[in-house]
Structure 1
């Protein structure tokens, strides 16, 4: 989607500060739906702007990852408030969050692939030429990310998106209390995770990889919502968050292998012999099978 066509970007108005209280710290059970959105979104937006600013001059591995996480958290938050933001506005904003996360993630994807190729070398696989090529691809991805994620444009877009959302929420739900709404959105996210987990358990091997990916996305959304809304919904969700984090780590290790395999399989390496690429793919497939089995066991646990 060309967001510049539908959503003109104003010049940045800097009202974000990097050092803010954690998201949700000012929430209370008597807060309104509209006011909590601002309390939750502003710190995440501030972090995204700060990360984008830092990455315009550096190529920090963790910085790209955290920028991608910030955009994912914003997608989850917009999903939560979508009943009052409206379908079209939610879709426009979340599509741009998704695009920006993908651009930021390009560097991180090559970092992960490089780490896996290093592990393959240490296990005896002859993939040194491919590992060197992956480092070059990573350098190219940094340039692409820095070109596509311009701090001023990101800040302008996020300023405008936040302003539009706040205006819509003040119009439709300014006086509605947050607690029941938050509980309902968390409940729907929990239901989605349960459904996807059960579906993944029934899938054949050919479709199982995509099903596990769907579980991972649903688990992330639920964890982000619990982190956002925990101050108002109560209920002792700390254990659930820890459990989801553990499951996400297992699913993430599988996803790293699957994504790296796809990345290497779909990339042209002009200076690398085909047999070296194939050796790396065989190693990745072997590791992927192990990690898929571990991920499947964790998914079956949460599907019960």
Structure 2
């Protein structure tokens, strides 16, 4: 697996690569002949979402390559060794794109023949930037069969053969982003322009973007549908990463599911009839949450143990709170993979696509976004205030804990609502989101301490039954209780400051 940080440029056939010696030692160019077959569903579901899956021969890295959409400016590439068969895609790569294919077959959709000239910028023998000058011939396939009757730069029955030239600058392990920017600027000065397509395949096939409902510009409907579309994209982008159990992927997917559910609930007057979809998102979030919560608390206990003097760590406590919790976490990942491979999950994804492409729009959808959605955000904040007042009036300790958790959930929904509206309503929503986040985190510190104590009590009982020393569990429980009490004592101060700041936004 690799992370690509690269810039692509379109250049004319007679483009001359400029002198780059000011940026380092220039090595090359070295030529390669590459032939790649690209796989997708017949209706190009992968290409529409910026995913490419290919089998390539030639060059320095022949094999199967799966490129996932950009995240934080970089594309993730997963590689597998070259196989003899051109018909059978490696099964693990098939699994990683199931959120996009949803049972549709993968067929060959294109062939790209590339004459590549590679120039390397390096310093002291270390590679900084690789420059690939590509002359490309792209041929589209129909139903997995090459259309040999198609003419260059023309079409036959809608199938094209296209020739073009492009230059790609990729940052290598020892290079810095500033250098990549300087190289790009030098290429543009010589006549290159930023690529009009994200990939060679997209340039050849011109896949239609995912369908999105036509809404009135500047309307509440436009804002809400655009936000829902962005969160569907975020959820799909994490699917293959969750299947690979990559760091933070479960958290990011869970957040996307929560944001979608929160938006559907908050904007129910704009996009209507989504209650069943909200419930399915709740179910998905709960499954993801099991593994995420175990991951968080395992790391929390690890930090606690590392901070203790060695003499206070007795018995096999590290194994039980480390590898023991990790085993439970891995079991939770297994349940996640089962859910992500089920028809119910694919039905959820279809429903999410539908709510973006063909939403049931309420009367509020046609209203100007500013006034209508501002009222929604303020209503979400009022629910936080009401929940806090309820918690304050609750005297029973157990019920009060539940009520404070309800405040935290309301604050999280208010935060998500405000963040969804930041691009339209600007700084006011940014401030409201920050206030809601502050309340959420203050209450979260208390809640996390309570959950940690409950987990420690269960683990200590298991250790006791196994005849193990339980002294350290008591030490940790004391630390967690103190942390929870400090967070709880700080809540009134945070709330008072938040209320004063919120008055200025009303």
- In structure 2, the residue matched to 1:259 is 451
Q: How does 1:139-178 map to 2 (within 5 A)?
A: 139-150=330-341, 154=345, 156-164=347-355, 167-170=358-361, 172=363, 175-178=366-369
- In structure 2, the residue matched to 1:104 is 288
Distance in 1 separating the partners of 2:422 and 2:287: 30
Residue correspondences, number = 284
**Match 1:50 to one of 237, 257, 269:** 237
- In structure 2, the residue matched to 1:302 is 498
Name the CA shift for 1:170/1:195 in 2 (closer, same or farther; >3 Å). Answer: closer
TM-score by length of 1: 0.78
Name the CA shift for 1:288/1:149 in 2 (closer, same or farther; >3 Å). Answer: farther
Is 2:333 aligned against 1:131?
Answer: no
Structure whose alpha-carbon radius of gyration is higher? 2
- In structure 1, the residue matched to 2:261 is 75
Partner deviation per Cα, 1:47-95 (whole Å, 9 max, x = no partner): 11111122112x2341111111111100111012212444xx3321111
- In structure 1, the residue matched to 2:223 is 36
Which structure carries more strand by proportion? 2
Distance in 1 separating the partners of 2:492 and 2:44: 45
- In structure 2, the residue matched to 1:24 is none
Distance in 2 separating the partners of 1:107 and 1:239: 32
Distance in 2 separating the partners of 1:85 and 1:210: 30
- In structure 1, the residue matched to 2:422 is 230
Secondary structure at the counterpart of residue 236 of structure 1 = helix
Which structure carries more helix by proportion? 1
Unaligned segments of structure 1, at least 5 residues: 1-10, 22-27
Contact 1:20 1:43 in 2 (8 A): no
- In structure 1, the residue matched to 2:277 is 93
Contact 2:435 2:498 in 1 (8 A): no
Is 2:488 aligned against 1:292?
Answer: yes
Distance in 2 separating the partners of 1:50 and 1:154: 15
Q: What displacement does 1:243 show?
A: 3.0
Contact 1:49 1:154 in 2 (8 A): no
Is 2:407 aligned against 1:215?
Answer: yes
Contact 1:111 1:138 in 2 (8 A): yes
- In structure 2, the residue matched to 1:5 is none
CA-based RMSD of the aligned residues comes to 3.4
Unaligned segments of structure 2, at least 5 residues: 1-42, 51-68, 73-214, 501-506
| Structure 1 range deviating more: 137-146 or 261-270 | 261-270
Distance in 1 separating the partners of 2:459 and 2:274: 33
Secondary structure at the counterpart of residue 273 of structure 1 = helix
Distance in 1 separating the partners of 2:71 and 2:302: 39
Contact 1:250 1:295 in 2 (8 A): yes
| Structure 1 range deviating more: 148-157 or 175-184 | 148-157
Name the CA shift for 1:114/1:235 in 2 (closer, same or farther; >3 Å). Answer: closer
Which one scores higher on RCO, CA 8 angstroms, separation ≥ 6?
Answer: 1
Q: What displacement does 1:175 show?
A: 3.2
Q: What displacement does 1:99 show?
A: 1.0
Secondary structure at the counterpart of residue 237 of structure 1 = helix
Name the CA shift for 1:212/1:176 in 2 (closer, same or farther; >3 Å). Answer: same
TM-score by length of 2: 0.49
Q: What displacement does 1:217 show?
A: 1.1
Distance in 1 separating the partners of 2:303 and 2:235: 32
Distance in 2 separating the partners of 1:284 and 1:174: 47
- In structure 1, the residue matched to 2:75 is none
Q: What displacement does 1:233 show?
A: 3.1
Distance in 2 separating the partners of 1:202 and 1:282: 28
